[in-house]
C-alpha cells in the first residue's frame, strides 16, 4: 500500500513526501484508512518507534474542519518531550493546510504563554495529563466539542501515576467522539480504561506483544559487579561511532556514571530527574544534534526522547520489569535501520536476563568484553578510515606541503605512519597495556551458585568479604532482593559486591565487600524504615551467629517492636517497605 491509496488529502501527501515518507509502516497502513472512513473507537497495540504519531496524526488532520473554531482533537501523552515531538510532527504534516494550528500544553513551563495560545485558538491540543487537567479545571481549556480523543503511550501514562488525571479528563469529554488508544502493552489499567470509556472498540495489534524489534540484536557481557564501569568504557572504545543511550537504574547511579565517564574524556552527559527543565532541554538538544555521542539516563528521564538513529542501547543496569527492557531496546533499530541492545550483567543477574530473553522472544548473544589489543586495533583502523575519508582543503594546505615534506625527507613512509599513529594512540596504548580480562569465565544461575563456586570466581579471596547482621527478616517481609535494594539505596552505589544472604524469621545475615563494610554500617544503623529501627553490625564469629539464631546475643534484640509492618506481605509491598522486587524503601533518619 502507498500513502496515496489511504485516501489522505493532496496537501498532506505533499507535506509527508517532502519529509521522505514513501510507504506506510504496518501500524500506519492498518490505522490510517480505518480512521479516515470509520468513527469506531480503536485500541492499537504497537511498540515504540513504529510510526504511531503519523498513524493517528495524519487522519486527524485529514478529517478536521477548518471552519470550526473550537478544539476538535485532544492528544494526551506522558511527557513534555513527547508532547513537543508530536506537536512538531503535526506542524510538519499540516504544513500546506492554511490556518491549521497545534497547541502544546505541558507542565514545567510558563502556563501564561500556553493560556495565550489557547485563547488564540487552534484545532488540536497536545498535552500531558497533569497540565491538561489543570487547564480544564480552571476552565481555560474547553474540550466539549472534541471529535477525537487520542491517548498516546497510555501504558506509560498509567506507569507514571496519571490515572486520576486521565479519569478526570475522560469523564469530561463528550459522549459523541472517537477515542483512539495507542499502547505498547495491555496492562490491567489499560483494559479498565478500554471497558469504561471506549465504545465497541476495534483492537488491532502490529507485531507480537512485548516482542523485541526484529532488526535489533541483543548482546550481553557477564562481568563482576565491580567491573561494570570498566566494561562500559571498553564497549564505548570498541564502537568508536556508537550513538547510544546508556540506561542506569537510579538518579544517583546516573550521576556517578556520567560524571566519571565525562571525567575520563568521553563525549557524554547525564539526563535525570534532578536536572532543571532548562538543563534537561540543553542536554537533549545536544544529544539530538549529535554533539553528544552517549547519553547516560534513567528510564523516566528518557521517556519521550525521540531519536531515530541510535546505534546502541546499553543497559548498564537491567530494569526490574522485563517489559521496560523491551521499551529500551525499541529505541534503536528504528526507521528500517539495525541496532544493538547491550546488557552489562553480573552473575546474579543472569537468571533475570533469561526471563527478559523469553519475553522478548529473541535469542540473546553472549559477547566477550574486548581486550586491549582488540580495542586498540579497532580504534587504529577507525582513525585510518577517518584520514582516508577526510575532505582535503587544497587551497590552504598546498602551500605548506613542500615544507612538510622537507621535514619528513629522512623518514620512510612506514616511519611517518608510525609517528602519526603514535601521536594519536600512545595514551590509549599505555592505558590498555596488559589490560586484564574482565569476562566471567562461567555463567552460573544465582540459585545454584555454591560457596565453592563463589570462592573460585573470586580467586579464593574470602577475606574481602565481611558478614553483617541486620535485625529484619521474614517477619518484616524482607527477602534477598529487598535486602539488596536496601544496600543499594543506603550505600548510594550499585557496584558493591554481595555474597551469601541468609534470611531468618526476625533477622538476616549477608556478606558484603569488606571495603564498604564501615560505610554501609554507618549509613544503615539506626535508620527507620516503615517504623522499624534498623540495627546492623558485624558478625565476629560463627558462635555469635549461632547465639543470635537462638534468640540470644546482642544482635538478636528487635527495637521498637518491628512496628510499621502490621500490614503483612501485601501491605509491605504496597507501601514500598521490604518487598519482593528490591525497590527503594521510603525512609527517615533519627
Beta-sheet strand order (sheet of 498-503): 498-503, 508-513, 465-470, 536-538
> Top-level CATH class of 450-589?
alpha beta
**pLDDT higher than threshold 90 for residue 555:** no
| Confidence class for position 585, pLDDT limits 50, 70, 90 | very low
Q: Give mean pLDDT, residues 538-553.
A: 45
**pLDDT higher than threshold 90 for residue 3:** no
What pLDDT, on the 0 to 100 scale, is given for residue 448? 36
Percentage with pLDDT > 90 across the chain: 29
Q: What is the DSSP letter of 348?
A: G
Nearest to 340 by CA among 377, 382, 310: 310
**pLDDT higher than threshold 80 for residue 189:** no
Q: Give mean pLDDT, residues 5-33.
A: 88
**pLDDT higher than threshold 80 for residue 541:** no
Beta-sheet strand order (sheet of 365-366): 268-271, 294-297, 244-247, 312-315, 339-345, 216-222, 365-366
| Confidence class for position 220, pLDDT limits 50, 70, 90 | very high
What pLDDT, on the 0 to 100 scale, is given for residue 455? 45
What pLDDT, on the 0 to 100 scale, is given for residue 573? 30
Distance CA 488, CA 217 (A): 30
Q: Give mean pLDDT, residues 255-275.
A: 88
Q: Give mean pLDDT, residues 306-330.
A: 84
CATH 3.40.50.300 given to domain 216-371 = yes
C-alpha cell at 424: 594519536
H, E, C per residue of 116-185: HHHHHCCCEEEECHHHHHHHHHCCCCCCCCCCEEEECCHHHHHHCCCHHHHHHHHHHCCCCCEEEEEECC
| Confidence class for position 336, pLDDT limits 50, 70, 90 | low
**pLDDT higher than threshold 70 for residue 258:** yes
| Confidence class for position 188, pLDDT limits 50, 70, 90 | low
**pLDDT higher than threshold 90 for residue 542:** no
The whole-chain average pLDDT of the chain stands at 79
**Boundaries of CATH 3.40.50.300 in the chain?**
3-205, 216-371
- Place domain 3-205 in its CATH homologous superfamily: P-loop containing nucleotide triphosphate hydrolases (3.40.50.300)
pLDDT in tens, 419-442: 887 887 777 878 888 888 999 875
**Boundaries of CATH 3.30.70.330 in the chain?**
450-589
What pLDDT, on the 0 to 100 scale, is given for residue 59? 93
C-alpha cell at 267: 563525549
pLDDT in tens, 126-168: 999 999 999 999 999 999 989 999 999 887 788 778 888 999 9
Rounded to an integer, what is the distance from CA 317 to the centroid of its chain? Answer: 10
Q: What's the whole-model pTM score?
A: 0.55
Phi, psi of 438 (to 5 degrees): -90, -10
| Confidence class for position 21, pLDDT limits 50, 70, 90 | confident
Nearest to 352 by CA among 321, 330, 398: 321
**pLDDT higher than threshold 50 for residue 566:** no
Distance CA 318, CA 324 (A): 9
Q: Give mean pLDDT, residues 31-47.
A: 84
Length of the chain: 590
Contacts of 332 (CB under 8 A, 6+ apart): 216, 244, 310, 311, 312, 313, 339, 340, 341
Contacts of 578 (CB under 8 A, 6+ apart): 472, 476, 477, 478, 479, 482, 483, 486, 529, 530, 565, 572, 585
CA distances from 436 to 264, 334, 369 (A): 19, 36, 10
CA angle 282–288–289, rounded 5-degree value? 90
Distance CA 479, CA 471 (A): 13
**pLDDT higher than threshold 90 for residue 304:** no
**pLDDT higher than threshold 60 for residue 210:** no
Amino acid at each position: 500500500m502507498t500513502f496515496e491509496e489511504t485516501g489522505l488529502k493532496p496537501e498532506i501527501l505533499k507535506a509527508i513526501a517532502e519529509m521522505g515518507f514513501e510507504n506506510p509502516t504496518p501500524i500506519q497502513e492498518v490505522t490510517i484508512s480505518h480512521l479516515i472512513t470509520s468513527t469506531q473507537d480503536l485500541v492499537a497495540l504497537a511498540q515504540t518507534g513504529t510510526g504511531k504519531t503519523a498513524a493517528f496524526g495524519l487522519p486527524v488532520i485529514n478529517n478536521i474542519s477548518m471552519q470550526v473554531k473550537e478544539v476538535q482533537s485532544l492528544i494526551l501523552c506522558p511527557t513534555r518531550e513527547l508532547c513537543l515531538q508530536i506537536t512538531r510532527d503535526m506542524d510538519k504534516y499540516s504544513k500546506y493546510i492554511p490556518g491549521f494550528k497545534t497547541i502544546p500544553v505541558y507542565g514545567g513551563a510558563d502556563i501564561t504563554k500556553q493560556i495565550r495560545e489557547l485563547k488564540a485558538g487552534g484545532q488540536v491540543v497536545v498535552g500531558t495529563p497533569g497540565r491538561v487537567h489543570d487547564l480544564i479545571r480552571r476552565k481555560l481549556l474547553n474540550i466539549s466539542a472534541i471529535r477525537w480523543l487520542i491517548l498516546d503511550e497510555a501504558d506509560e501514562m498509567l506507569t507514571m501515576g496519571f490515572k486520576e488525571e486521565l479519569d478526570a479528563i475522560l469523564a469530561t469529554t463528550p459522549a459523541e467522539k472517537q477515542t483512539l488508544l495507542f499502547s505498547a502493552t495491555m496492562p490491567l489499567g489499560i483494559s479498565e480504561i478500554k471497558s469504561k470509556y471506549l465504545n465497541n472498540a476495534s483492537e488491532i495489534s502490529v507485531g507480537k506483544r512485548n516482542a523485541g524489534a526484529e532488526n535489533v540484536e541483543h548482546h550481553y557481557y557477564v562481568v563482576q559487579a565491580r567491573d561494570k564501569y570498566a566494561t562500559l568504557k571498553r564497549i564505548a572504545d570498541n564502537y568508536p561511532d556508537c550513538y547510544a543511550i546508556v540506561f542506569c537504574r537510579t538518579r544517583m547511579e546516573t550521576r556517578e556514571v556520567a560524571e566519571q565517564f565525562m571525567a575520563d574524556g568521553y563525549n557524554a552527559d547525564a539526563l535525570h530527574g534532578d536536572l532543571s527543565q532548562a538543563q534537561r532541554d540543553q542536554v537533549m538538544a545536544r544529544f539530538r544534534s549529535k554533539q553528544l555521542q552517549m547519553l547516560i539516563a534513567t528510564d523516566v528521564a528518557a521517556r519521550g526522547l525521540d531519536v531515530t538513529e541510535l546505534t546502541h542501547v546499553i543497559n548498564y543496569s537491567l530494569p526490574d520489569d522485563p517489559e521496560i527492557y523491551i521499551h529500551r531496546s525499541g529505541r534503536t533499530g528504528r526507521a528500517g535501520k539495525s541496532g544493538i541492545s547491550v546488557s552489562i550483567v553480573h552473575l546474579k543477574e543472569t537468571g533475570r536476563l533469561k526471563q527478559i530473553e523469553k519475553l522478548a522472544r529473541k535469542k540473546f548473544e553472549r559477547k566477550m568484553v574486548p581486550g586491549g589489543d582488540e580495542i586498540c586495533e579497532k580504534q587504529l583502523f577507525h582513525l585510518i578510515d577517518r584520514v582516508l575519508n577526510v575532505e582535503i582543503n587544497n587551497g590552504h594546505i598546498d602551500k605548506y606541503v613542500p615544507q612538510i615534506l622537507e621535514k619528513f625527507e629522512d623518514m620512510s613512509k612506514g616511519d611517518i605512519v608510525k609517528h602519526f599513529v603514535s601521536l594519536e594512540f600512545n595514551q590509549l596504548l599505555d592505558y590498555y597495556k596488559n589490560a586484564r580480562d574482565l569476562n566471567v569465565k562461567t555463567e552460573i544461575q544465582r540459585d545454584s551458585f555454591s560457596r565453592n563456586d563463589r570462592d573460585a570466581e573470586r580467586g579464593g579471596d574470602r577475606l574481602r568479604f565481611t558478614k553483617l547482621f541486620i535485625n529484619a527478616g521474614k517477619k518484616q517481609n524482607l527477602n534477598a532482593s529487598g535486602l539488596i535494594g536496601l544496600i543499594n539505596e543506603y550505600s548510594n552505589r550499585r557496584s558493591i559486591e554481595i555474597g551469601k544472604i541468609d534470611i531468618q524469621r526476625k533477622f538476616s545475615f549477608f556478606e558484603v565487600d569488606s571495603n564498604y563494610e564501615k560505610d554501609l554500617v554507618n549509613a544503615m544503623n539506626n535508620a527507620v524504615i516503615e517504623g522499624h529501627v534498623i540495627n546492623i553490625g558485624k558478625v565476629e564469629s560463627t558462635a555469635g551467629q549461632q547465639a543470635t539464631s537462638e534468640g540470644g546475643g546482642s544482635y538478636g534484640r528487635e527495637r521498637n517492636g518491628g512496628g510499621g509492618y502490621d500490614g503483612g506481605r501485601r501491605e509491605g509491598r504496597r507501601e514500598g517497605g521490604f518487598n519482593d522486587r528490591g525497590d527503594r524503601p521510603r525512609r527517615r533518619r533519627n
